[in-house]
Structure 1
Amino acid sequence: MPRQTVVTAALLVAATALAAGPARAAEQPPGQPAEATALLTELRELYREAGAATEAYNESGERLAEQRAEVERLTARLADTRGELAGARRTAGRLAAAEYRTGGSPELPPVLRLLLTDEEPARALHDTTVARRAAAGQLAEVRRLAEAEHEADALAAEADEAWEEERRLAGDQRDRRDAAHDRMNEVAGLLAGLSGEQRDELTALEERETAAEQREFLAAHQPAEPDDRAGAADAPGARALAWALDQRGKPYEAGAAGPESFDPAGLALRAWEHVGVTVPRTGARSWQLLPHVPLEELRPGDLVIYHEDASHTALYAGDGTVVHPPGPGRDVEVTPLAHAPIKGAVRPATN
């Protein structure tokens, strides 16, 4: 059975059982009905899948843009080489024509041409030698440029093929992202069928589980105390964080980087861009390219990366919290740092 069908069926069973009321819940430990736990588990997995699919699509978009730039660079190089080759061939043609006009007929050996000329023999010999050297040099240049043209043509063709492949992969990633968000829409429909009390039960369960995870995290990784030194509030990270906090209440949207909606990495990108620092578009690139930071040494504005595939990003907001749009149906908000499995943290170089 396809994953989408399994997830939808599991959610439907959980939601239906949850809607059945306290009769089923009474069989479970207080505050932890199995149906609510199952529904919350599936919701979290769908959030993670949707985030991972969006990040993969964003990543493919970055690679596609880079490959397109490489195609354009190599195409320009090919055009330049062809222009140089055409110029070299014209120069070679002019040299050949000049030699012909001055008696440099290829049918006559140099000694006979000297006997037939009215010029001083030494000068005629010198002029002939210079002309021959110029022609030989120009011929070598034509050959070099012809080889360069062939190489540039081959490279441009390879780059164009690679771009077409990246474009196909980007389309596949877009389809995967859209499918993940279709599943999220199904979940939204199921949740809409729950009563306010049942939704409150889910929210309370999520808050309890997050609080437990936060306590466990803080016991193992106590973040640094806030920096009260003069000028700390003007540090790039603090200013990036302040900008991100100003975006609270704006909705999550897959692939969005502002100004009216964001995905997690899009918020991080714009927050740091606001202070003149470029960070990667995806969590995976940030994890790969930016300096890693121990969780005990987090500063405001550092990027916290979540899940093993680095599919979620948040800005550290101090006091064990982060700011981010958690996922579909949520807005940019401040949440406990340990709201999801943490992979690690990275710091833009100037923070």
Structure 2
Amino acid sequence: MNRRHCASAAITLVCALSVLITPVQALAAPTPPSAGAKAPKKTLEEVREEIDALYRKAGAATDAYNLAEERADKQSTEIVKLARAIVVGQAKITELKAQAGAQAREQYRTGGLPPGAQLMLSDDPQLFLDGVSRAREGQQAAQGVLGELTRTQQDLETYTKDASINWKKLEAGRVKQAKAKKRIDAQIAAAKKLESRLKKEERARLLKLEEEAAYQQQTAWLSSGALKDINREASAAGKRAVAFATAQIGKPYVWGAEGPGSYDCSGLTSQAWAAAGQPIPRTSQEQWRLLPRIAIKDMRPGDLIIYHSDASHVGMYVGDGAIVHAPRPGRNVTLAGAGSMQILGVVRPDK
């Protein structure tokens, strides 16, 4: 009997013994599904919730990407400024060294005594006084050159050190950007894969389910009396921001985009306020962290509503319980109910 037959016989014997020694009650246990059995098909609502969760995760990763990009831009600008300062400093050091060298050569030619010191040795009283004055001026000039040379060298060392620190931060930021981009691509790809499996009529129904879920949340928010005291007029800058944002309605959501042809959620709000003459942070999380917070009852058009517990989405309040926002990949900039998503809080760019 060859090895294969021996192994087969051994396996058969082990299986037989297992059945004999297994307690009787164990025979009543349910048989696990075979490896080839298909998992129960998800309902369209479950698919909607899964897609929504994937896009929210992509939104959070987009914020991380945008923040890393914003910081990288600042660090690049700072590195350029420092590089220019280093060039200027190096040129200045060359000039000061030339001045110090000229003074040293002059001392050598005069036997180690500057012209002013030689005049001090004169028998003529006036020449002696002039010599004292010139000697002092010469000493002060020499000390001034050496002092300025020392300060310039110290500045140059500081510029070089700062440039090195900023370069390291820039490289670290690029690594973060790459990781965030990888997460974004993975989440969006997974969401698109789920949607691609749906038939045309199912995709239409999915959109309808999204609208119904948003409507239910908006209705509950309105029923709570949230809009009862909200009737404030927008500031002049707020009106300009709202006008810019609403003019983008219909343009597609693209993560990381800041216009003019497409936007992500915070790209839209930051560009709207930039157009109104009030620059604000680029990401929804930084907008939430850095901008003044106000109560919902004090909200006015132009204010930004931050959504979800991780501040991963933002829309601009336009009045009458509505916002303009860039929802997610596959959707366009649109108007929506201000309470159609979980509100974290409200911030005011021009407080």
One-letter amino acid of the structure 2 residue matched with residue 63 of structure 1: R
- 8 Å Cα contact 1:64/1:170 also seen in 2: no
Matching of residue 169 in structure 1 with residue 176 in structure 2: yes
Matching of residue 252 in structure 1 with residue 253 in structure 2: yes
CA RMSD between the two structures: 3.0
- C-alpha distance in structure 2 between counterparts of 1:181 and 1:62, whole Å: 22
* 1:59 aligned residue: 67
* 1:242 aligned residue: 243
- 8 Å Cα contact 1:283/1:313 also seen in 2: yes
After TM superposition, give the deviation of residue 99 of structure 1 in Å: 2.9
After TM superposition, give the deviation of residue 122 of structure 1 in Å: 4.4
Number of residues paired by the alignment? 311
Matching of residue 210 in structure 1 with residue 218 in structure 2: no
- 8 Å Cα contact 2:237/2:350 also seen in 1: no
- 8 Å Cα contact 2:217/2:340 also seen in 1: yes
Q: Secondary structure at the match of 1:60?
A: helix
* 2:27 aligned residue: none
One-letter amino acid of the structure 1 residue matched with residue 226 of structure 2: Q
Compare CA radii of gyration and give the structure with the larger one.
2
Question: Any unmatched runs of 5+ in structure 1?
Answer: 1-11, 19-34
Question: Could you say if the C-alpha distance between residues 317 and 150 of structure 1 is closer, same or farther in structure 2, counting changes exceeding 3 Å?
Answer: closer
After TM superposition, give the deviation of residue 126 of structure 1 in Å: 4.2
Question: Could you say if the C-alpha distance between residues 271 and 221 of structure 1 is closer, same or farther in structure 2, counting changes exceeding 3 Å?
Answer: farther
* 2:144 aligned residue: 137
- C-alpha distance in structure 1 between counterparts of 2:107 and 2:291, whole Å: 63
Matches within 5 A, 1:158-237: 158-191=165-198, 194-196=199-201, 198-220=202-224, 222-223=226-227, 224-227=229-232, 232=233, 235-237=236-238
- 8 Å Cα contact 1:114/1:125 also seen in 2: no
Question: Could you say if the C-alpha distance between residues 220 and 129 of structure 1 is closer, same or farther in structure 2, counting changes exceeding 3 Å?
Answer: same
Cα deviation per residue 1:210-266 (whole Å; 9 max; x = unaligned)? 333223323445134445xxxx57833233223322322221111112222221112
Q: Secondary structure at the match of 2:121?
A: helix
- 8 Å Cα contact 1:266/1:281 also seen in 2: yes
* 1:26 aligned residue: none
- 8 Å Cα contact 1:53/1:176 also seen in 2: yes
The alignment's TM-score, normalised by the length of structure 1, stands at 0.78
Matches within 5 A, 1:280-291: 280-291=281-292
One-letter amino acid of the structure 1 residue matched with residue 259 of structure 2: G
- Taking only the aligned residue pairs, the percentage that are identical comes to 34
The alignment's TM-score, normalised by the length of structure 2, stands at 0.78
Q: Secondary structure at the match of 2:197?
A: helix
Question: Could you say if the C-alpha distance between residues 113 and 174 of structure 1 is closer, same or farther in structure 2, counting changes exceeding 3 Å?
Answer: same
* 2:340 aligned residue: 339
- C-alpha distance in structure 2 between counterparts of 1:156 and 1:293, whole Å: 39
